[in-house]
Amino acid sequence: MTRTELAKRIDHTLLGPTASADGVRALCAEAVEHGVATVCVNPCHVSLAKSLLAGHSIPVCAVIGFPHGMTTPKAKACEAADAIALGAMELDMVANVGALKDGNLEAVESDIRAVCDAARSSDPAVHVKVILETSLLTDEEKETGARLAKKAGAHFVKTSTGFGPHGATVEDVALLRRVVGDEMGVKAAGGIRDAETALAMIDAGATRIGASRTGAILAGVPDEPIG
């Protein structure tokens, strides 16, 4: 995989509580430099990121219910609609992990579906990634969460917020890929700081990588394929 090909799989991310307008400006400049898949920001920064990326084919991704996912489905749907109105073309929503661990599968599905419905009603339609925070789940719960995301109409399942006990693992990426098959994307996020780790996630089945250290990751990949 070339540096350019890997860049097109990366959501270049700035989501911390101290994220500033200057940080978003730097993020977008780096995104343009590297040619990433998306820029992923908090909803309050969607409009700024959209304006900074005008004229470039890099969409803005917004996080919804971040980072804990414990708001109501109605609140998440409203947040999703607002982010879309501001210019977001992808949404990374955090599933209700507590409801999943309680076995309240109807609540989990309704929660995801509320955001998916808001995304489907936009023109053009917006893609939804469902963050399962896999570090907090058993393998059975991960499988159940992925199936519910698929049933509710999401486009991706995602491993982590980056704010949980740990981030993506190769094993979790492989599990999610096995559950959703080829019909959905799998996003690995959290703790991916170098090319070796990013490529291992892709080998395990990830189609998108969430990363804040995009430059360091891409520095470890050749401009042209080897061999």
135 to 139, 186, 194, 202: CA distances (angstroms):
10, 16, 20, 19
DSSP 95: P
Is 92 considered catalytic here? Answer: yes
DSSP 161: -
Q: How many residues does the chain have?
A: 227
Is 74 considered catalytic here? Answer: no
- CA-CA distance, 63 to 43, in Å (whole number)? 7
Catalytic residue, candidates 76, 142, 150, 187: 187
Catalytic residue, candidates 76, 142, 158, 172: 158
| Residue 92, φ and ψ in degrees, nearest 5 | -110, 100
Q: Looking at the DSSP assignment, which residues form a beta bridge with residue 130?
A: 93, 157
Is 76 considered catalytic here? Answer: no
Q: Give 14's contacts (C-beta < 8 A, 6+ positions apart).
A: 23, 24, 27, 39, 40, 41, 45, 212
User: ω before 67 within 30° of 0 (cis)?
Assistant: yes
Catalytic residue, candidates 11, 50, 76, 92: 92
Q: Which residues are catalytically annotated?
A: 92, 158, 187
